[in-house]
Amino acid sequence: MLREKLVHSEFARFLVAGSVNTGLTYLLYLSINLAVSYTIAYTASYCIGIVLSYWLNSYWVFRQSWSWSKLLQYPVIYIVQYIAGLVILYIIVEIFYLSTQIAPLFVIIITVPLTFALSRFLLKSN
C-alpha cells in the first residue's frame, strides 16, 4: 500500500512537472524565436526542455540527486517516447480510422505513463 501511494504521488508530481516544463519550454521557444528562425528556436527549446525535465524529475518528482551519466542517458527516453507515439498514432489513424486531429490525444494518454515508467526506472536505478 505504501509503495502504491508513493508511486501515485510521484505520478501526480510527474504530471505537474511535465506541465510546468511544457509551459516554460513553449515560452522559451517564443522568446528564442524573436531572434532566430523557428527551427533553431524549436531545437534549442526542445534540448533545454529535456534538461529541464531531467532536473524537475530528478529533484522534485523522484527525489534523486543529479548525475551526469543519467543526464546523458535521459534523452533516450524521449527517443523511445517519440517512436512509441509514432507507432501508436499510425495504428490509431490507419487501423482504427480515428481522426488525425483526435489521435494525438490518445497518443499522449498512452505515452505519458510510458514516459513516467522509463523516467522512474532510469532516475531511481543505481
The domain locations on the chain are 2-124
**Mean per-residue pLDDT of the chain:** 94
Cα-flanking dihedrals φ and ψ of residue 83, to 5°? Answer: -65, -45
Q: What pLDDT score was predicted for residue 67?
A: 94
Query: pTM of the predicted model, to two decimals?
Result: 0.87
Q: What is the pLDDT of residue 6?
A: 65
Query: Is the per-residue pLDDT at 84 higher than 70?
Result: yes
List all residues 6 or more positions away from 62 whose beta carbon is below 8 Å from its beta carbon.
Answer: 10, 119, 120, 123, 124
Instruction: State the pLDDT confidence band at 38, using cuts at 50, 70 and 90.
Output: very high
Sign of the CA dihedral with 24 first, then 81, 126, and 48 last = negative
